[in-house]
Amino acid sequence: MKISVVKVVGLSVLVVLSAFLGALGYRAWRPHQQVVAAPVPAPVVAPPDDATISIQRERDWYRYFYSYYGSMERYRQTGHVDQRSRVYADAIGEFYEIDDVSELALCPAPSDSLVTSQAIYFGARVAFLSQRSGGPIMYSMSYLGSADWIHGEEPFDAFWPVTSGSQELSAADNAGLAATVLSAHGSSAFNRGDLQYFAPISFNVADANGDGDDDFWLGGRLVLSGPDGYALDENEDLASKEVSFLDQGSATWALVANRDNIDVFDPGSIGSGPVASIPLEAPLSTTRSFTVMPVQGGTMFLAVTDGSVDVYNLSTGWAADRVASLTGFQTGELFAGAFGDFTGDDVIDFWLSESRWKNDEGEIVGRLMLIDGAAIASAGKVDVQDLARTTLLGSTRYSDYDGISATLSPKAGDLDGDGTLDLSFTGHRHMSEAGALFVLPGTALKAGAMSVTDPSIIKIVGQPVSQLAPYYNHMDLGGHIIVAADNDLCSGLNAGAIYDVTIPESPRMADR
Ligand SMILES: [Ca+2]
Ligand SMILES: [Ca+2]
Ligand SMILES: [Ca+2]
């Protein structure tokens, strides 16, 4: 009885207290009743404006680069190793430092800025143009890819005679071609695929107007040699398209990648429309940077679909037969390069680069595969792993987030002059963002699996955080290699530079 009174009194107190708190704005307490919160409308948040997005991107950019600059400088001054300098510190004993084996060939106009329109990432893309007389000319330009917000309003491009020795560019050297294409067609003219990799030039050069000097494509616009230097062709019909030269020696054609077919143009009369249209057995990929790549002296081309690399053999009248379909690729970058006869049968072979390839542990290490030019003509449907003569794998020893083969030389050279072709390839963000250049001597080439850690591979590391070898190409010039470092500091933060590297005769004796 007594207990019941206490219960009643207690309940009454709680009810009174609840009413009191309710009067003060607190939610009423109700015995034995589950409190169900009223749905709270989602707060209305305005989407960030462009300025806010830009500030956030710049902040992320600063944070990323400065963390690496800081770590690498601390490592160099004190030997202290942290998470960001670890890869560099662990592996540096296997590498020649670029300062010891190269000249700084070209610095862009000095930049006094941080990450703004003046920070130009010079050398982000380069094309090497053979000339009728003298050595090749290099066309080089600043970045206009997935982060073109950094300086998209102010691209810088220049021509440079490769054999002229060291020099510094000035603002007056700006060729202005990239700026013209950008203002006419926007940055999308330069970007390819889902990742918006920036792919205007690559290995894609040929003499289209027959004057003996190579010409090239820039955002789908033809850039032609002439008595007064290079100039943009006025025809804009192919602007923003993926266009590849098909150089057959006796004639040069332009292949325009559409999804289900390839249109063939005469580059001398683009305005007349296509001379042929090649239907494809399977549609081209919409996610890759390159989808059409001529091989075998223009008698074949590779067509990259979402699941395969199809190989078509061309015959008269633009009939094209699919002779092979290579499967087993992952997503991400995929391109062919380092053309040359590696197998000794006088048929041109090539290497396929998959720089974002992940190993069984899910680590991005990248891989390079040597494709036998004779075997591909009758390969049929085959996993590329079964067709490849050699598969060269990258290693987390030299980078824990970047794969090998960001770049290949368009043609493989004989760098040591021993009569066998040597393979040069790079790791753009290897070695804690320094970037790396690798040379596999032809004599050390083995069938089957190889690793970039192989002691026979000559290894060269870029300046700290200089990001040697931005995507797609460097150039073998027989004994030396021209390669860009688009984050080099020679003209200010993120300014970029070009190096002329003399390849050492043998690997650095590893100090493991
Ligand atoms: Ca020409
Ligand atoms: Ca061969
Ligand atoms: Ca050689």
- So what's the pLDDT on residue 458? 98
CA 210 – CA 203 distance, rounded (Å): 18
Instruction: Identify the pLDDT of residue 248.
Output: 92
Q: Domains of the chain by range and CATH?
A: 55-502 (2.130.10.10)
Ligand 3 being an ion, which residues bring their Cβ within 5 A of it? 414, 416, 418, 420, 422, 442
The ligand minimizing its distance to the Cα of 373 is 2
* Cα dist from 371 to 90, 336, 356, 368, whole Å: 33, 9, 19, 10
Q: Which ligand is located closest to the Cα atom of residue 377?
A: 2
Which ligand is nearest the CA of 503, by number?
3
Confidence bin at 71 (pLDDT 50/70/90): very high
Binned at pLDDT 50, 70 and 90, residue 510 comes out as low
Question: DSSP per residue over 31-56, as a string?
Answer: TT----PPPPPPP--PPPPHHHHHHH
- % of residues, the chain, pLDDT over 70: 89
Strands 96-97 and 458-461, how do they pair?
Answer: parallel
Gap from CA of 470 to ligand 2 centroid (Å): 28
Using pLDDT thresholds of 50, 70 and 90, give the confidence band for residue 55. confident
Task: Give the pLDDT confidence score for residue 6 in this predicted structure.
Answer: 40
- How many whole angstroms from 215 Cα to the centroid of ligand 1? 5
Extract the tokens encoding 78.
Answer: 């004190």
- CA distance readout (Å), 92 to 101, 335, 372: 15, 29, 34
The alpha carbon of 349 and the centre of ligand 2 are apart by a number of angstroms equal to 5
Q: How far apart are alpha carbons 157 and 141 in whole angstroms?
A: 4
pLDDT at 3 over 60: no
Ligand closest to Cα of 389 equals 2
Q: 443, exposed or middle or buried, with CB in 10 Å at 0-12, 13-18, 19+?
A: exposed
The number of the ligand nearest the C-alpha atom of 206 reads 1
Q: Determine the pLDDT at residue 195.
A: 76
Q: What mean pLDDT comes out for the span 360-364?
A: 97
Q: How far is the CA of 293 from the centre of ligand 2 (A)?
A: 18
- Helix and strand numbers, DSSP H then E, in the chain: 7, 34
216: CA distance to ligand 1 center in Å? 9
Going from the Cα of 306 to the center of ligand 2, the distance in angstroms, rounded, reads 27
pLDDT at 14 over 80: no
Looking at the CA of 412, name the nearest ligand.
Answer: 3
Question: What are the CA-CA distances from residue 126 to residues 337, 410, 412, 468 (Å)?
Answer: 15, 11, 17, 13
- For ligand 1, the distance from its centroid to the CA atom of residue 210, given in whole angstroms, is 5
Which of 466, 476, 464 lies closest to 500 in space, CA to CA? Answer: 476
| Integer angstrom CA distances of residue 67 from 116, 120, 432 | 19, 20, 11
Q: Is the pLDDT of residue 43 over 70?
A: no
From the CA of 372, how far away is ligand 3's center (Å)? 18
Asked whether the predicted pLDDT for residue 16 surpasses 60, the reply is no
Looking at all shown ligands, the one closest to residue 208's CA atom is 1
pLDDT level of residue 116 (50, 70, 90 thresholds)? low
Centre of ligand 2 from the C-alpha of residue 444, in Å: 16
Percent of the chain with pLDDT over 90: 70
Residue 63 in this model has a pLDDT that exceeds 80: yes
For residue 398, is pLDDT > 90? yes
Structure tokens at 35: 């409190």
419-428 tens-digit pLDDT: 999 999 999 9
Q: Per residue in 315-336, pLDDT tens? A: 999 999 999 999 999 999 999 9
pLDDT at 39: 67
Which one of the ligands is nearest to 211 CA? 1
Residue 401 has pLDDT above 90, yes or no: yes
Q: Ligand 3 centroid to 158 CA: how many Å?
A: 32
CA of 127 to the centre of ligand 1 (A): 14
**Interval between CA 442 and ligand 3 midpoint (Å):** 5
- Quote the mean pLDDT of the chain: 88
Residues 176-216 have pLDDT tens digits of 999 999 999 988 899 888 878 888 777 899 999 999 999 99
CA distance 207 to 218: 15
CA of 497 to the centre of ligand 1 (A): 27
pLDDT in tens, 267-314: 999 999 999 999 999 999 999 989 999 999 899 999 999 999 999 999
Digit-coded pLDDT (tens) for 227-241:
999 999 999 999 999
